[in-house]
Chains A and B, each alone.
Chain A
């Protein structure tokens, strides 16, 4: 089964504990580099079509991270919903509006330095809070092993339709409302002067 390739690989390699760790670490580092590079590409490219395509690559990389973490269902949902549906919608709107490149306008001189300073504060604060502060109560430890893939899917389905049934149904209503809302917003009214 294609969705459990990471589990198979890990099971095979787990006979050599040191090798498993190294292979996963190398894979993680390469993918992390790709994820950060594509995010920066999304941020820096002038043409918004390129931004959207960089973001598709970023979502695909994050889907591989989900596979590494033993969450195949979320990985597939990520590929189909995010990289498939949402980004195609983005590309469709970009090309519909014909605004791939915005005309250069007046640039606020303090905008970039201020954003850079705020970003530095944010990343330092996030890493500090999540790692340094959280380590004091020793809640974050590396797991010994991940769950079995098929068991994980079954268990997640059971949880979704028992404990989380009400949020699940509310989500369907939310999607219906979003669909109706999108149609109402973009519909041209008859006889309206625009």
Chain B
């Protein structure tokens, strides 16, 4: 069994890569993918701790996180499609007005 510390370090690295993606990319679709990567990194840490502590709560939380992520992606992508229809661009730097 690989020590849980290794999984936690990997999870921290993946989470940071996701955070950098949110900070530097200007394509909202890639920003969204980075958010998914961060959720996934948190899931990995939760499953690692669940396996270490022999408790199923971590795995059940991960199940709920996956369900919520699916709902979030459906609504978020619908919003991006609608923004593209209105502004004919999805560059986040151009989304700076509340009234489209």
Binding site for B on A (CB under 8 A): 21, 24-25, 28, 32, 35-36, 39-40, 42-43, 48, 51-52, 55, 58-59, 62, 65-66, 68-71, 73-74, 77-78, 81-82, 85-86, 89-90, 93-94, 96-97, 99, 102-103, 105-106, 111-112, 114-116, 118-119, 122-123, 126-127, 130-131, 140-147, 152, 155-156, 159-160, 164, 167, 171, 174-175, 177-179, 181-183, 185-186, 194
Contacts and interface: CB of A to CB of B under 8 A. Distances in A.
A13 B62 CA distance: 29
A146 B51 contact: yes
Contacts of B34: 42-43
A105 B89 CA distance: 12
Most buried by B among A127, A177, A179: A127
Contacts of A123: 12-13, 16
B5 A185 contact: no
Given A66-B47, A127-B9, A164-B60, A90 B73 contact: yes
Contact of B17 (A40, A51, A105, A118): A40
Interface string B75-100: 10111111011100011011000000
B19 A122 contact: yes
17 contacts: A43-B34, A48-B29, A52-B29, A71-B59, A74-B43, A74-B47, A85-B70, A97-B80, A99-B29, A99-B84, A102-B27, A111-B23, A118-B19, A119-B20, A152-B56, A164-B60, A177-B71
A87 B68 CA distance: 15
Interface residues of B, number: 72
* The 5 nearest A-B residue pairs measured at CB: A178-B71, A115-B23, A126-B12, A185-B78, A182-B78
Given A140-B5, A185-B78, A185-B82, A167 B64 contact: yes
Given A35-B14, A164-B60, A131 B20 contact: no
Q: How would you classify the secondary structure of chain A's contact residues: helix, strand, loop or mixed?
A: helix
Given A58-B40, A69-B48, A118-B23, A90 B29 contact: yes
B1 A175 contact: no
B2 A68 contact: yes
A60 B22 CA distance: 22
Nearest to A143: B52
